[in-house]
């Protein structure tokens, strides 16, 4: 069997940084260390001057997702952009259509992804209709490799679930070792504020933010945390957008409750002034929760560095400005919610996180790769560089400088969230299970290479003491049904 030898690179994991060679066989890392000449290596890559990262695991994407009569941009373009940026696994949200079974929902997403994804993936099912049949189907879904479920507390009349649904799901999740992920915004109040604003003729994109003040995110975050506590289940709050909701999480964790959470690059790098751009440009920046006041950014960085937030995911849910965002030209509530970022989130966080001195190189890998893999039940197959792990590797050149622009990006959208940003660092080569899919920054893979990866239940949320700062030394895989 052919071997690949990556030599002279600086290996970076969530815990360590060291110079080592890697040997890969059958898609796995089989040896790490200083190696003599590997005479039978079929491929030799000299990684001198490069970091060798585990491929990023983006736990929060929406590919080809229906929204307000349109669909977010597809697997075909967005996973290639992801690969070139250094992301080798995504966990995408499969939306349960009302009346559909979990098996049908999972199959629908897998069918859509099959032959259309450049990188590996797993799925969360977003439950919109929790009938008794669905409750009974949950253990089967977990056995089929889906161990995370999403509940929306917002999008009333579409995706939103009520509190009793959320509570029932939390009760069920702990029985089977699943993790409930929550979009925490109060959908009832948003719906009311939308109606009031529109009745006053306030239709422009900026009113999207006015209709979703941070207090209603904080309230929903608090409610979700308390319901999880009452149900005795861990919970994971997605896309925390500011200091106050983060404070709810911090407080719960300080009491020992297993509450975990994510933020996204847009809340660290963009702010609500973008929504006020003239000529409907603000529609480009409509996502939920909305972009916040700039002062929230520092509070989010603090929440990252003090361990309140464990992961960063992109919430990549990309739409075209001209064709799709336009659906809300006369009504902000109809603007498709979502933005892009999967192509550049790694250099953005490297530049404005690591190089700016906010986080260490190891924390960076913890946030974008190790911790997402741990919480999503994919570790240590994904999220680290270790013997036996998948050889999903990013050979990252920290010296390259680039200006982010839609003119040259690979993402399908006609605009870029981070247009004009200067960033440092870029993936030079990317390997997916040992196969080179990006060579010298150019995508050379095929869309049939990405595979569905089974997630294991009882992931990190069941095994981490929230009072511990990090989850750095945790990580032995646990088999189905293992004790908490």
Most distant pair of Cα atoms in the chain: their distance? 74
C-alpha dist (Å) from residue 323 to 76, 87, 332, 342: 19, 27, 15, 21
User: Looking at 309-317, 362-370, 376-384, 459-467, which segment touches Zn ion (CB under 5 A)?
Assistant: 309-317
Site string for Zn ion, 349-368 (x = CB under 5 A): --------------------
C-alpha dist (Å) from residue 285 to 16, 88, 270: 37, 26, 9
Shortest Å, Cβ 316 to Zn ion? 8
Judged on CB neighbours under 10 Å (0-12, 13-18, 19+), 98 is: exposed
Cα torsion 445, 451, 456, 457 to 10°: value is 110
Shortest Å, Cβ 91 to Zn ion? 11
User: Looking at 49-57, 78-86, 143-151, 307-315, which segment touches Zn ion (CB under 5 A)?
Assistant: 307-315
Is the CB of 219 or the CB of 315 nearer to Zn ion?
315
Report CA torsion sign: 363, 369, 375, 378.
negative
Is the CB of 185 or the CB of 366 nearer to Zn ion?
185
Shortest Å, Cβ 246 to Zn ion? 18
C-alpha dist (Å) from residue 174 to 5, 32, 179, 180: 42, 37, 8, 9
Alpha carbon 199 to chain centroid, angstroms:
36
Asked if residue 187 lies in contact with residue 152, where contact means CB atoms within 8 angstroms, the answer is yes
24-83 binders of Zn ion (CB under 5 A): none
Is the CB of 315 or the CB of 343 nearer to Zn ion?
315
In angstroms, the first-to-last Cα distance of the chain is 39
User: Looking at 102-110, 155-163, 310-318, 365-373, which segment touches Zn ion (CB under 5 A)?
Assistant: 310-318
User: Looking at 4-12, 241-249, 314-322, 345-353, which segment touches Zn ion (CB under 5 A)?
Assistant: 314-322
Please tell me the distance from the alpha carbon of residue 124 to that of residue 159, in angstroms, as a whole number.
14
Shortest Å, Cβ 150 to Zn ion? 8
User: Looking at 112-120, 311-319, 413-421, 469-477, which segment touches Zn ion (CB under 5 A)?
Assistant: 311-319
Shortest Å, Cβ 265 to Zn ion? 13
- Size of the residue set binding Zn ion (CB under 5 A): 1
Is the CB of 265 or the CB of 466 nearer to Zn ion?
265
Shortest Å, Cβ 345 to Zn ion? 14
Is the CB of 241 or the CB of 369 nearer to Zn ion?
241
Judged on CB neighbours under 10 Å (0-12, 13-18, 19+), 469 is: exposed
Is the CB of 244 or the CB of 315 nearer to Zn ion?
315
Is the CB of 50 or the CB of 240 nearer to Zn ion?
240
Tokens 């911790």 found at: 371
C-alpha dist (Å) from residue 33 to 229, 244, 365, 385: 45, 45, 20, 12
Is the CB of 61 or the CB of 100 nearer to Zn ion?
61
User: Any idea how long the chain is?
Assistant: 484
Shortest Å, Cβ 300 to Zn ion? 17
Among 315, 343, 366, 392, binds Zn ion (CB under 5 A): 315
217 lies in the site for Zn ion, by CB under 5 A: no
Shortest Å, Cβ 459 to Zn ion? 19
Is the CB of 153 or the CB of 426 nearer to Zn ion?
153
Please tell me the distance from the alpha carbon of residue 325 to that of residue 318, in angstroms, as a whole number.
10
C-alpha dist (Å) from residue 229 to 171, 175, 387, 424: 10, 15, 37, 42
Cα torsion 182, 185, 188, 194 to 10°: value is -140
Shortest Å, Cβ 60 to Zn ion? 6
User: Looking at 313-321, 355-363, 373-381, 449-457, which segment touches Zn ion (CB under 5 A)?
Assistant: 313-321
Shortest Å, Cβ 238 to Zn ion? 6
Please tell me the distance from the alpha carbon of residue 289 to that of residue 184, in angstroms, as a whole number.
8
Shortest Å, Cβ 112 to Zn ion? 17
Token pair, residue 286, equals 């409509």
Type and span of the H or E element at 137: helix 132-143
Please tell me the distance from the alpha carbon of residue 141 to that of residue 106, in angstroms, as a whole number.
8
Shortest Å, Cβ 42 to Zn ion? 40
R_g of the chain, CA atoms, integer Å: 21
Is the CB of 174 or the CB of 316 nearer to Zn ion?
316
Site string for Zn ion, 444-483 (x = CB under 5 A): ----------------------------------------
Is the CB of 63 or the CB of 395 nearer to Zn ion?
63
The DSSP output letter for 454 is: P
* Closest-approach residue to Zn ion (CB): 315
151-180 binders of Zn ion (CB under 5 A): none
Is the CB of 147 or the CB of 314 nearer to Zn ion?
314
Asked if residue 184 lies in contact with residue 143, where contact means CB atoms within 8 angstroms, the answer is no
Contacting residues toward Zn ion, per CB under 5 A: 315
């Amino acid at each position: 069997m052919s071997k690949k030898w990556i030599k002279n690179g600086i290996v970076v994991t969530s815990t360590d940084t060291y110079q080592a060679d890697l040997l890969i066989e059958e898609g796995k890392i089989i040896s790490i260390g200083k190696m003599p000449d590997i005479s039978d290596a079929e491929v030799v890559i000299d990684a001198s001057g490069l970091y060798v990262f585990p491929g990023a695991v983006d736990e929060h994407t929406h590919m080809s997702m229906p929204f307000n009569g349109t669909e977010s941009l597809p697997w075909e373009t967005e996973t290639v952009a992801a690969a070139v940026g250094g992301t080798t696994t995504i966990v995408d949200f499969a939306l349960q259509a009302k009346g559909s079974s979990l098996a049908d929902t999972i199959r629908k997403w897998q069918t859509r992804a099959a032959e259309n994804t450049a990188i590996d993936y797993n799925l969360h099912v977003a439950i919109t209709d929790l009938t008794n049949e669905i409750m009974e189907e949950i253990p089967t879904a977990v056995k089929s490799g889906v161990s995370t479920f999403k509940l929306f507390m917002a999008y009333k009349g579409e995706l939103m679930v009520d509190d009793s649904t959320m509570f029932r799901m939390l009760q069920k999740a702990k029985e089977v070792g699943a993790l409930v992920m929550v979009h925490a915004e109060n959908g009832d109040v948003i719906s009311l504020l939308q109606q009031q604003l529109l009745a006053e003729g306030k239709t422009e994109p900026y009113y999207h933010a006015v209709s979703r003040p941070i207090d209603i995110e904080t309230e929903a975050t608090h409610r979700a945390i308390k319901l999880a506590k009452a149900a005795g289940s861990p919970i994971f709050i997605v896309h925390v957008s500011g200091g106050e909701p983060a404070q709810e999480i911090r407080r719960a964790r300080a009491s020992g409750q297993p509450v975990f959470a994510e933020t996204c690059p847009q809340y660290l790098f963009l702010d609500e002034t973008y929504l006020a751009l003239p000529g409907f440009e603000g529609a480009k920046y409509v996502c939920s929760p909305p972009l916040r006041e700039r002062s929230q950014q520092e509070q989010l960085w603090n929440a990252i560095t003090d361990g309140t937030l464990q992961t960063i995911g992109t919430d990549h849910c990309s739409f075209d400005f001209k064709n799709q965002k336009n659906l809300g030209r006369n009504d902000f509530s109809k603007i498709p919610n979502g933005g892009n970022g999967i192509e550049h989130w790694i250099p953005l966080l490297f530049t404005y996180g690591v190089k700016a001195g906010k986080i260490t190189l190891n924390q960076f890998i913890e946030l974008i790769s190790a911790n997402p893999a741990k919480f999503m039940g994919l570790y240590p197959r994904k999220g680290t560089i270790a013997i036996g792990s998948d050889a999903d590797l990013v050979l990252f050149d920290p010296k390259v400088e680039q200006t982010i622009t839609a003119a040259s990006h690979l993402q399908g959208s006609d605009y870029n969230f981070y247009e004009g940003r200067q960033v440092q660092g870029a993936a030079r080569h990317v390997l997916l299970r040992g196969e080179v899919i990006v060579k010298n920054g150019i995508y050379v893979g095929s869309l049939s290479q990405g595979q569905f990866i089974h997630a294991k239940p009882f992931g990190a949320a069941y095994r981490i003491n929230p009072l511990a700062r990090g989850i750095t030394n945790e990580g032995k895989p646990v088999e189905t049904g293992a004790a908490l």
